[in-house]
Amino acid sequence: MPELDIVTAFQCDEGSRPIKVRSSSDPDKVYTVVPGDEETEPSCTCRGYRFRGTCKHLKEAIRHRCGWHSIYDGSPAMTDVHKTRKICPRCGGRLRVVRVGV
Ligand SMILES: [Zn+2]
Ligand SMILES: [Zn+2]
């Protein structure tokens, strides 16, 4: 049996960060969208999401999500500055530390 090596990796935390989206039909309405990722449930505060479990705000948020991962994404490469300050080299957002089996 090959043994699984657990290594420490970094992943962009953008999926868990709520984004404010203005409603296209009602400019006074602002929805809060969480794109979601492996550890975070996606959500949106609009009615469409509550009824259907998905909506265009969420789809947009997912499409623009960074999702950078230090193991699966070689570029842009991570520097020591990114590593020590936990900054995503792609979007400049926060990084979270994750454990990955390789
Ligand atoms: Zn929505
Ligand atoms: Zn990022």
The per-residue pLDDT for range 61-102, each reduced to its tens digit, is: 999 899 899 999 988 999 999 999 999 999 999 999 999 888
Which residue do the tokens 């969480």 mark? 34
CA of 4 to the centre of ligand 2 (A): 27
CA of 80 to the centre of ligand 1 (A): 38
> What token pair was written down for 43?
């959500």
pTM comes to: 0.78
Distance between CA 93 and CA 47 in Å, rounded?
29
CA of 75 to the centre of ligand 1 (A): 31
Contact call for residues 57 and 63 (beta carbons, < 8 A):
no
pLDDT digits (tens, 9 = 90+) for 16-71: 999 999 998 899 999 999 999 888 999 999 999 999 999 999 999 999 899 899 99
> What token pair was written down for 83?
């590593």
Distance between CA 92 and CA 94 in Å, rounded?
7
Q: Residue 4 pLDDT > 90, yes or no? A: no
What band does 9 get if pLDDT is binned at 50, 70 and 90? very high
CA of 82 to the centre of ligand 2 (A): 11
